[in-house]
Amino acid sequence: MNDVDFTISSHAAIEINRRNIRIEDIQQVLSRPQQVIAVKPSRNIYQSIVDVDGKQYLLRLVVDKEIPPVLVTVYRTSKIQKYWR
């Protein structure tokens, strides 16, 4: 897996800890997202289906397209069909 250089915002760091999201999953989605959705000219959502304790979730990363990219927030949802494009 290629490591992706990115900055984690203070809000994203809080959410990663609060939601117990593995940094390895975040790195994998940033380097090889299953989908990238443009929500603004300067912002994308990177998303992939991940396995957590035998259950599938959609991991969604809100990323500002700066250099390096800034992870604005991150969350996991079981509502895969709602967000899958």
Is residue 30 in some structural domain? yes
Listed as ranges, residues in the chain with pLDDT below 70 are 1-4
Q: How far apart are CA 19 and CA 63, in angstroms?
A: 18
Is residue 61 in some structural domain? yes
Q: Taking a C-beta distance cutoff of 8 angstroms, is the pair 14, 75 a contact?
A: no
Q: Where are the beta strands (DSSP E) in the chain?
A: 7-8, 35-40, 43-52, 55-64, 70-77
Q: How far apart are CA 11 and CA 42, in angstroms?
A: 18
Structural domain count of the chain: 1
Q: Could you list the residue range(s) of the whole structural domain that residue 46 is in?
A: 7-83
Is residue 39 in some structural domain? yes
Q: Using one digit for the tens of pLDDT, what is the confidence trace for 41-57?
A: 999 999 999 999 999 99
Length of the chain: 85
pLDDT at 82: 96
Is residue 1 in some structural domain? no
Is residue 2 in some structural domain? no
- 19: amino acid identity, one letter: R
